[in-house]
């Protein structure tokens, strides 16, 4: 029998996580099948994913009616629903978590998107959700905004696993890695062990090209279409290798610290002219994670090519970003715009979700 193409990716040191969760995929056995047959090693969720799950099925109606009796707000009620799903998913991934000695097997739950620019409230909610799920293989997602950096450091300093989300730019990614390392140092200085703490930095890809590509033709750079996000990711991996080496890191590694792996997010092709597995194929390499929607997993299983590509064409990646700069395209400005839009893209479905919960409560 031919080797499963998705599973092949893991032989190059990259873990595939599913960018989706709902009750049906857990209860039907489909998620377990993805673990067993495709080698899926984790799950990520976000407000938009939960909004789709809760508003497009009746699976949550009974719980909404029950939780409405004791929840003080619709947001509290939502997190009650989400925590149940996350707990059930972490149980399914416990075998992966144990077998990988805590490297994989994680399920991510995001703090309220309304808190994306609030440090204290983010850190407080991260700790609250961590305690509510109460599973070693949960990660709490915190946006990598400027105010989020201190919340990331504080959370890591408390021994909480963190998935840093909404990363688009290289300077911000470097700040996130610094926050992680500082958080480990804080936890160690407080007399705790650090070997159990795990974190990923979620670098968003296709959205970069969606914004940049229309600018390229105007500047005579049409040959770079679909290449800027990949070039940025390859440069991020260079930063990762630099930061997670040398005396400061080695001191933490000697105490069992795990590097904060880069996670490629937004890896479905938004442009129909591109191959549907383009972003997955371009960035396969060691010590990384790729979180992939179900349809992209299915596409890769059918016709994806698994090869060690992440460190190929590094000079081309440098040249791509240099050509952008020379043409007057400010990538840092673009990535800040994407961060701002990303917050909005999670706020809107979250508002819709809370309204759907309100409507369902009124029906009950």
How far from the centroid of its chain's Cα atoms is residue 198's Cα? 13
CB 347 within 8 A of CB 114: yes
Which of 3, 31, 24, 46 shows the shortest CA–CA distance to 300? 3
141 classed as catalytic:
yes
* DSSP state letter for 257: P
The catalytic residue among 135, 141, 234, 278 is: 141
Q: Going by C-beta distance under 8 Å and a sequence separation of 6 or more, which residues neighbour residue 14? A: 284, 285, 286, 288, 289, 290, 310
Q: Give the bridge partners for 140, in sequence order.
A: 109, 162
Angle at 61 between CA 89 and CA 65, to 5 degrees: 110
Give CA–CA dist 274/268, Å, rounded: 10
CB 136 within 8 A of CB 196: yes
Query: Helices 331-363 and 170-189: crossing angle, nearest 10°?
Result: 70
Please identify every residue annotated as catalytic: 141
């Amino acid at each position: 029998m031919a080797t499963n193409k998705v599973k092949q990716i893991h032989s190059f040191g990259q873990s595939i996580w599913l960018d989706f969760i709902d009750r049906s995929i857990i209860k039907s056995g489909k998620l377990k099948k993805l673990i067993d047959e495709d080698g899926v090693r984790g799950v990520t969720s976000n407000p938009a994913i939960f909004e789709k799950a809760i508003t497009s099925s009746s699976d949550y109606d009974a719980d909404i009616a029950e939780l409405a009796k004791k929840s003080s707000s619709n947001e509290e009620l939502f997190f009650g629903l989400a925590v149940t799903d996350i707990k059930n998913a972490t149980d399914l991934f416990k075998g992966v978590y144990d077998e990988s000695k805590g490297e994989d097997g994680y399920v991510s739950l995001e703090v309220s998107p309304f808190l994306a620019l609030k440090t204290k409230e983010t850190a407080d909610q991260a700790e609250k959700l961590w305690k509510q799920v109460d599973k070693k293989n949960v990660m709490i997602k915190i946006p990598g905004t400027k105010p989020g950096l201190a919340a990331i450091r504080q959370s890591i300093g408390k021994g909480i696993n963190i998935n840093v989300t909404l990363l688009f730019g290289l300077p911000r990614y470097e700040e996130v890695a610094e926050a992680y390392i500082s958080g480990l140092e804080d936890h160690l200085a407080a007399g705790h062990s650090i070997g159990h703490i795990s974190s990923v930095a979620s670098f968003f890809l296709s959205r970069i090209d969606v914004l940049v590509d229309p600018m390229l033709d105007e500047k005579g750079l049409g040959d770079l279409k679909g290449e800027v996000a990949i070039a940025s990711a390859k440069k991020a991996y260079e930063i990762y290798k630099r930061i997670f080496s040398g005396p400061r890191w080695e001191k933490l590694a000697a105490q069992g610290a795990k590097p904060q792996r880069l996670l490629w997010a937004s890896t479905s092709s938004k442009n129909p002219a591109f191959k549907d597995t383009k972003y997955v194929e371009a960035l396969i390499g060691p010590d990384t994670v790729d979180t992939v929607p179900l349809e992209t997993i299915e596409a890769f299983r059918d016709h994806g090519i698994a090869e060690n590509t992440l460190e190929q064409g590094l000079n081309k990646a440098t040249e791509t970003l240099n050509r952008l700069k020379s043409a007057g395209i400010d990538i840092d400005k673009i990535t800040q715009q994407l961060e701002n839009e990303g917050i909005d893209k999670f706020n809107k479905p979250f508002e819709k979700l809370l309204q759907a919960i309100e409507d369902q409560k009124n029906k009950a």
